């Protein structure tokens, strides 16, 4: 244990400023270099309890830092097994998650652990020589070190990074030679399907900061991004031979729909409004489910994107989420919470030329400003949350994570062992170096705060372009509170072909005309959940993520002209 | 077109020495910076034909370099679509692959292209502004550059790399600002499920050098490693509702078996000898297939590891491969060729204290020394080869590739779009910088030659340890020609419990005793293909990949004692 005075000093340090925090963490690890594996029980017995009822407390960051200091240096070598329980605060008084045996597919239930990966447990035995797994010797890796220049607070801008970004270095044997926790010799060898212990620690702590799950046996597992995680999750719960189906928004992420269809199960759409899924409609649909007419048994799985839904841009508010969760409880649905845009919750839209809403003044305010996640209200452990770095750091990391109950994560992990084998080691070690060792939790939250403001600017630029260029009597939209997308509803009843031409035809005409005039927007029909049903409303989706304000203005002008042309307005 | 004299000079340069080759390639690209997309037809019309009958010709490397020079600078931005046809030499006179519609699963056949990814084709239109895909702006990526220190020929050793490895740098906007072909702004954004065009070019050319497929419409697609590729491939061909099954070696890679089982299909084992699968046994098994007794229809899929098979270490010779291919043709099997150890083909084992066999003197000799791949004899396009960097570069890259016909690769790609989305961008850009821009094809082949000698040393050290420590009347083995594994057969008939105790029990006893004395070896039963059948022979698998010679000696001594203990010899 650290002396009390020193621990208090550390705690004070880590909440002060980012740079200091990272340093003090490193110092703390040096002071006390024992394995956290050995000390997790001890840590759990002495750390202040992290009750789930509590709102985000400024002390949580310092509590995590103190917990790390108490646990001592994280010792995790090549392919070391790890799980979130090694890194979580105490879960005293929380219930355990329900079991989901009836919800799982035959495929998922039949998975056995990998013999070779299970054998790795013997590696803990002191003095054991392994001639077991076919792991290459790190000596034969052709890289000696990686260096990178990264953005630092307070100025995360590209220019600041280019001119005075921080240089950080990842050596081959930093663990052996420089008292590091992670290095190339470990990251570039084989790993576990959970991903490395080093990244798992950071993500477990991040989950405590953001989600605070109200049940005890939650766990985190790294993924290769939410596209891959969703495919695994669907196979875990859906069984075509059982007549399974899945519920989702009536316009849903097209790639998700294209993942579901080949599994031989149907997706059914729940009506949405400006806040996404309508709980009453969902309840009614499920209460009156006619399996024969639907050709599927009553759904036991809900797939939803709660924040900045793709494609509608809708964000479910707190009460909406609570109501949907209650409907899920009533009908015993398991929830797949897909949240790539969670941290792209933006500043409230104040209207053109109006003063901006005040930005969060510190990371505590920022975290408090976020709408609670489903996991944070998940007393049953009926949610699997999919998180990803694609939208908030770099898509090319192919690195994400899930949060769910121990049972669900264990099943997921068994599948990942024979599929992805976990994310790239290059990605993990680079992201760890940046998020954990350079920025720390506070620095990463500041990065996300900065992103909030950047996306607010982008959204506002697209909204301005729409106000300037679109015929308001034909095209309507709601300013999105999160995400990357603006969803247009075009009033098809005013189309000269209304009643004689199908909406698909009119959509196609407008889309073709857009392409011809040089703008690509996504067609609403791509996202229609029930593909067999005729289209009953006319939509297009535009993103404000990538184009410059000038280009957005030009592009929306082209889109506006394409709509007007089709409606015979020009 | 380059002036003829300059092209000839380039060709001469690129075969001379590695360092020069890389430089001249770069120069060539600068000389002629047009898109290869535009010029591939032109290149095809003028390049000398790469006939598949020809043995590896020293001119192939220079031919590839000249082809690149003619094609001009590769222009491939964020998420640019690409396929191998852009990078292949002319395939004049080769037949097209057969179609495999009857072999594909219902799941695979039902896959539709991703709407959003398909829409990317419009991005080629000049002046088009995309508000389509939700790609973040690279401006918001927090990395400015990556630098690394890498091994260089002729001395690839760890010490040489640490003291004078080559520094290479990857900037954020190398394409825009430094006439580069690939950079962080592209690699760290979203990509296609095929992986980047930049890496695909290198891997397509590498496939020409190594495999020389004898049919015209072969393609390459990047993967997240062969574990993930195998899972996708199995789902592409196996359908439990059709009563499908898969054929493999009677002892097969345990993870592959654990991937197959949850799909609800059976795996059946073909007897093996020192050269792996016995074609006559395979023919007999298939010719007399009793679907009712087997509980599965006659297999239409073969999964095999031809070189350094896991776990038996067996390597199929050329004639063996040809005979197996003929059996596959006779029974219309599709072949999954899993080749992680292909480049770990070692020097012939000459016996203890004997002079080493002479190493290949140059890359041409090296490539000629390799046993031809199944793809290289695949006149029907009935092979999907899985390749991976895990065993030859770093497992942590999670980067591999498949080679198969256009039809098969297209189906694979449709699945990858909704699963992995292709390998990590960090992995791709780092590996590209090393393999393509720093080493070039010749440098990479020299790296593989070096690895051959390193693994030969490791294998010989394990063989020496066995000769010194194992009771030859109880334990036998064959020196492996490739891979990482040595397969022990223990003569169970000499066991005091023979006839009264099961082989499983005896295996367990020896394994437990090994763990107790401090050595981990893999149990033969883990690899038994038909899990329901009783074990009829007693095996253990040891790897020589990771341990030092001293540790191998100590470990094998412990293993030897454990065997002797169980057999009542001590």
Would you give the end-to-end CA distance of chain B in angstroms? 77
Contact between B280 and B448 under an 8 Å Cβ cutoff? The reply is: no
A2: pLDDT confidence band, cut at 50, 70 and 90? very low
Is A446 among the domain residues? no
The per-residue pLDDT for A33 is: 34
Provide the pLDDT for residue A58.
Answer: 56
Residue of B110, B132, B396 lying closest to A261 (CB–CB): B110
Pairing state between β B143-150 and B334-338? unpaired
SS3 state at A106:
helix
Q: Does residue A184 form part of some domain?
A: no
Domain co-membership, A236 together with A384: yes
pLDDT for B52 beyond 70: no
Q: In chain B, which residue's Cα lies nearest the Cα of A447? A: B142
Q: Are B448 and B392 within 8 A, CB to CB? A: yes
DSSP A143: E
Q: String of b and e for A180-194 (b: at least 16 CB within 10 Å)?
A: bbbbbbbbbbbbbbb
Cis preceding-peptide flag for A154 (omega within 30 of 0):
yes
Sequence-distant (6+) residues with CB within 8 A of B144 are A148, A149, A150, A151, A158, A161, A162, A165, B171, B172, B184
Gap between the Cα atoms of B228 and B420, Å rounded: 8
Weakest-pLDDT range from A403-417, B55-69, B193-207: B55-69
Q: What is the pLDDT of residue A118?
A: 81
CA distances, B137 to each of A135, A390, B100 (Å): 38, 11, 41
Q: B-chain residues within 8 Å CB-CB of A558?
A: 129
E strands along A200-274, which residues? 218-223, 245-249, 266-270, 272-273
For residue A183, give the chain B residue with the closest CA: B396
Q: What band does B57 get if pLDDT is binned at 50, 70 and 90?
A: low
Distance from CA of B312 to the nearest CA of A (A): 13
Q: How far is B332 from chain A (nearest CA, A)?
A: 26
Q: Please write the tens of the pLDDT for every residue from B256-294.
A: 999 999 999 999 999 999 999 999 999 999 999 999 999
Rounded to an integer, what distance in angstroms lies between the CA atom of residue A330 and that of residue A321?
A: 14
pLDDT band per the 50, 70, 90 thresholds, residue B424: very high
Task: List beta partners, residue B249.
Answer: B270
Q: How many CB atoms lie within 10 A of CB B491?
A: 16
**What number is the average pLDDT over the span A252-260?**
97
The whole-angstrom separation of Cα A466 and Cα B355 is 79
The model's confidence at residue A120, banded by pLDDT at 50, 70 and 90, is confident
Give all strands of the β-sheet with B522-523 in edge-to-edge order.
B475-476, B485-490, B538-543, B522-523
CB B562 within 8 A of CB B513: yes
Of the candidates B532, B526, B504, the residue with the CA atom closest to the CA atom of residue B254: B526
- Residue A418 sits in the same domain as residue A459: no
Nearest residue in chain B measured CA to CA from A127: B518
* Domain final position from B35, B57, B75: B75
ipTM for the predicted complex: 0.90
Answer whether A224's CB lies under 8 Å from A398's CB: yes
Question: Would you state the pLDDT for residue B25?
Answer: 29
Outline where B288-344 has alpha helix (H): 291-294, 318-330
Min Cα separation B3/chain A (Å): 37
pLDDT, chain B, mean:
90
Of B75, B92, B114, the one marking the end of a domain is B75
Bridge partners of B267, per DSSP, are B246
Query: B374 with B478, same domain?
Result: no
A282 plus A397 within the same structural domain: yes
Residue of A192, A396, A459 to mutate when probing chain B, most B C-beta within 10 A: A396
Distance CA A112, CA A102 (A): 18
User: What does the pLDDT look like over B534-570, one tens digit per residue?
Assistant: 999 999 999 999 899 999 999 999 999 999 999 998 7
- Averaged pLDDT, A77-101: 96
Is the residue at A518 inside a domain?
yes
Q: Rounded to whole angstroms, what are the CA distances from B529 to A63, B383, B520?
A: 50, 21, 22
pLDDT confidence bin for A393, thresholds 50/70/90? very high
The pLDDT assigned to A57 comes to 53
Inter-chain CB proximity A131 and B521 less than 8 Å = yes
Cis preceding-peptide flag for B154 (omega within 30 of 0):
yes
- Output the domain CATH number for residue B286: 3.40.640.10
Distance from C-alpha of B522 to C-alpha of B210, rounded to nearest angstrom = 32
- For B292-343, the pLDDT digits (tens) are 999 999 999 999 999 999 999 999 999 999 999 999 999 999 999 999 999 9
B217 vs A20: CA distance, rounded Å: 58
Is A168 a residue whose pLDDT tops 60? Answer: yes
Distance CA A319, CA B80 (A): 42
Sign, CA dihedral B18-B22-B25-B31, equals negative
CB contact (8 A) between residue A434 and residue B188 = no
pLDDT band at B44 (very low <50, low <70, confident <90, very high): very low
| Together in a domain, B294 and B416 | yes
**CA A149, CA A438: separation in Å to the nearest integer?**
11
Do B61 and B28 sit in the same domain of this protein?
Answer: yes
In a domain, A442, yes or no: no
Q: Are residues A403 and A463 in the same domain?
A: no
Q: Do B127 and A255 touch (CB under 8 A)?
A: no
Query: For residue A26, is pLDDT > 80?
Result: no
Read off the pLDDT of residues A488-546 as tens digits, 9 standing for 90 and up: 999 999 999 999 999 999 999 999 999 999 999 999 999 999 999 999 999 999 999 98
Cross-chain Cβ contact A420/B259 below 8 Å: no
Q: Among A123, A434, A522, whose Cβ lies nearest the Cβ of B119? A: A522
Nearest to B404 by CA among B204, B193, B105, B235: B204
Co-location of A302 and A414 in the same domain: yes
Band of residue A12 on the pLDDT scale cut at 50, 70, 90? very low
Secondary structure (3-state) at A488: strand
What is the CB neighbour count within 10 angstroms for residue A111? Answer: 21
% of chain B at pLDDT higher than 70: 90
| Higher-scoring residue by pLDDT: B1, B62 | B62
What is the rounded distance in angstroms from the CA atom of residue B258 to the CA atom of residue A142?
Answer: 32
Nearest residue of chain B to residue A172 (CA atoms): B162
Interface test with A, best of B106, B113, B136, B256 (most A CBs within 10 A): B136
* B361 within a domain of the structure (yes/no): no
A494, part of any domain: yes
pLDDT of residue B299: 98
Q: Which residues does chain A have within 8 Å of residue B397's beta carbon, measured at their own beta carbons?
A: 188, 424-426
Count of domains forming chain B: 4
Task: Tell me A292's DSSP state.
Answer: H
Check whether B23 has a pLDDT greater than 80.
no
Are residue B392 and residue B485 in the same domain, yes or no?
Answer: no
The domain boundary residue, chosen from A16, A42, A75: A75
pLDDT tens-digit map of A282-338: 999 999 999 999 999 999 999 999 999 999 999 999 999 999 999 999 999 999 999
Which residues span the domain enclosing A230? 197-344+368-422
Residues A509 and A458 in one domain: yes
Band the pLDDT of B59: cuts 50, 70, 90.
Answer: confident
Q: Does the pLDDT at position B116 exceed 90?
A: no
A148 vs B143, B520, B552: nearest CB: B143
Res B453 pLDDT > 90:
yes
The per-residue pLDDT for B43 is: 32
Contacting residues for A115 by C-beta, under 8 A, at least 6 apart: B254, B258, B522, B523, B526
Q: Residue A56, preceding bond cis, omega within 30 degrees?
A: no
What is the predicted pLDDT for the residue at B442? 96
Sign (positive/negative) of CA torsion A554, A557, A563, A569?
negative
Residue A143 lies in a domain: no
User: Checking DSSP bridges between strand B129-130 and strand A519-520, what pairing results, if any?
Assistant: parallel
pLDDT digits (tens, 9 = 90+) for B340-369: 999 999 999 999 889 989 999 999 999 999
Quote the mean pLDDT of chain A: 90
Nearest CA in chain A to B254: A115
- For residue B30, give how far its alpha carbon lies from the nearest alpha carbon of chain A (Å): 26
Q: Please tell me the distance from the alpha carbon of residue A387 to that of residue B406, in angstroms, as a whole number.
A: 34
Q: Which of B116, B147, B144, B143 is nearest to B132 (CA)?
A: B116
- In this prediction, residue A17 carries a pLDDT of 30
DSSP annotation of A345 reads B
Q: For residue A419, give the nearest of B231, B417, B418 by CB distance.
A: B231
Residues found in chain B = 570
Q: Length of chain A in residues, anyone? A: 570
pLDDT tens by residue, B458-473: 999 999 999 999 999 9
Instruction: Please spell the DSSP secondary structure of B234-246, one letter per residue.
Output: HHHH--GGGT-EE
Tell me if A318 is assigned to some domain: yes
> What percent of chain A is predicted at pLDDT more than 70?
90
Rounded to whole angstroms, the Cα distance separating B48 from A34 reads 64
Are residues B478 and B397 part of one domain? no
Q: Which CATH number belongs to the domain containing residue B491 in this structure?
A: 3.90.1150.10
Segment B486-493 shows an average pLDDT of 98
Query: What are the percentages of helix, strand and coil residues in chain A, rounded to 5?
Result: 45, 15, 40
Contacts of A267 by beta carbon, 8 Å cutoff, 6+ apart: A245, A246, A247, A248, A252, A257, A260, A261, A303, A529, A530
How far apart are alpha carbons A210 and A213 in whole angstroms? Answer: 9
Which pLDDT does position B63 carry in this prediction? 95
Name, in order, each residue with C-beta under 8 angstroms of A184's C-beta and a sequence gap of 6 or more: A138, A141, A143, A144, A145, A146, A170, A171, A172, A173, A174, A429
d(CA A345, CA A357): 13
Q: Are B273 and B381 found together in one domain?
A: yes
What SS3 class is residue A98?
Answer: coil
**Phi/psi of residue B536, each to 5°?**
-115, -5
Q: Given strand A166-171, what is the order of strands in its sheet?
A: A166-171, A143-150, B143-150, B166-171
Task: List the single residue in B with minimal CA-CA distance to A458.
Answer: B137
For residue B195, give how far its alpha carbon lies from the nearest alpha carbon of chain A (Å).
11
Q: How far apart are CA A151 and CA B416, in angstroms?
A: 32
User: Is B150 within 8 Å of B438 (Cβ atoms)?
Assistant: yes
The contacts of residue B141 (CB under 8 Å, 6+ apart) are A393, A394, B172, B184, B185, B188, B189
> B472, B451, B313, B330: which is closest to B389 by C-alpha?
B451
Bond before A311 cis per omega within 30 degrees:
yes
């Amino acid at each position: 244990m650290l002396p009390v005075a020193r621990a208090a000093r550390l705690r004070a340090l880590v909440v002060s400023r980012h740079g200091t925090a990272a340093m003090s963490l490193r110092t703390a690890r040096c002071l006390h270099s024992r394995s956290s594996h050995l000390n997790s029980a001890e840590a759990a017995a002495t750390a202040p309890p992290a009750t789930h009822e509590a709102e985000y407390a400024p002390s949580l960051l310092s509590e995590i830092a103190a917990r790390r200091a108490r646990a001592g240096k994280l010792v995790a070598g090549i392919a070391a097994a790890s799980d979130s329980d090694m890194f979580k605060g105490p879960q005293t008084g929380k219930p355990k998650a329900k079991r989901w045996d009836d919800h799982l597919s035959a495929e998922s239930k039949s998975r056995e652990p990998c013999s070779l990966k299970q054998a790795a447990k013997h590696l803990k035995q002191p003095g054991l020589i392994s001639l077991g797994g076919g792991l290459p010797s790190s000596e034969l890796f052709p890289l000696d070190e990686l260096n990178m220049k990264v953005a630092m607070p307070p100025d995360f801008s590209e220019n600041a990074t280019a001119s005075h970004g921080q240089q950080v270095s990842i050596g081959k044997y930093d663990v052996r030679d420089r008292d590091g926790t992670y290095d190339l010799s470990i990251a570039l060898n084989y790993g576990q399907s959970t991903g490395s212990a080093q990244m798992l620690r950071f993500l477990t702590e991040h989950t405590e900061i953001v989600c605070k799950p109200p049940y005890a046996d939650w766990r985190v597992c790294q993924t290769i991004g939410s596209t891959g995680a969703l495919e695994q999750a669907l196979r875990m719960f859906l069984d075509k031979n059982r007549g399974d189906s899945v519920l989702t928004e009536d316009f849903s992420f097209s790639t998700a729909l294209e993942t579901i269809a080949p599994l031989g199960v149907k997706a059914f759409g729940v009506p949405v409004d400006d806040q996404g899924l309508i709980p009453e409609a969902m309840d009614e649909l499920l209460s009156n489910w006619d399996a024969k007419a639907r050709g599927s048994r009553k759904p036991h799985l809900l797939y939803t994107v709660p924040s900045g839904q793709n494609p509608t841009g809708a964000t479910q508010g707190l009460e909406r989420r609570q109501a949907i969760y209650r409907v899920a409880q009533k009908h015993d649905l398991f929830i797949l919470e897909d949240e790539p845009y969670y941290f792209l919750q933006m500043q409230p839209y104040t209207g053109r030329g109006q003063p901006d809403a005040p930005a969060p003044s510190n990371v505590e305010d920022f975290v408090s400003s976020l709408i609670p996640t489903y996991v944070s209200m998940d007393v049953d452990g009926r949610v699997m949350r999919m998180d990803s770095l694609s939208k908030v750091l770099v898509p090319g990391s192919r690195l994400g994570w899930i949060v769910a109950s121990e049972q669900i994560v264990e099943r997921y992990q068994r599948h990942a062992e024979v599929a992805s084998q976990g994310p790239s080691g290059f990605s993990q070690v680079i992201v760890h170096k940046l998020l954990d060792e350079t920025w720390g939790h506070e620095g990463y939250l500041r990065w996300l705060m900065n992103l909030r403001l950047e996306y607010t600017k982008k959204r506002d630029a697209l909204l301005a372009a729409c106000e300037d260029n679109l015929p308001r009597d034909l095209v309507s939209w709601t300013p999105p509170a999160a995400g990357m997308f603006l969803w247009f509803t075009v009033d098809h009843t005013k189309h000269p072909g209304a009643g004689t031409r199908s909406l698909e035809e009119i959509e196609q005409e407008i889309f073709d005309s857009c392409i011809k005039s040089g703008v690509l927007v996504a067609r609403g029909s791509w996202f229609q959940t029930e593909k067999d049903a005729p289209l009953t409303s006319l939509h297009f989706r535009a993103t404000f993520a990538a184009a410059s304000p000038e280009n957005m203005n030009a592009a929306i002008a082209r889109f506006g002209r394409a709509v007007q042309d089709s409606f015979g307005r020009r």
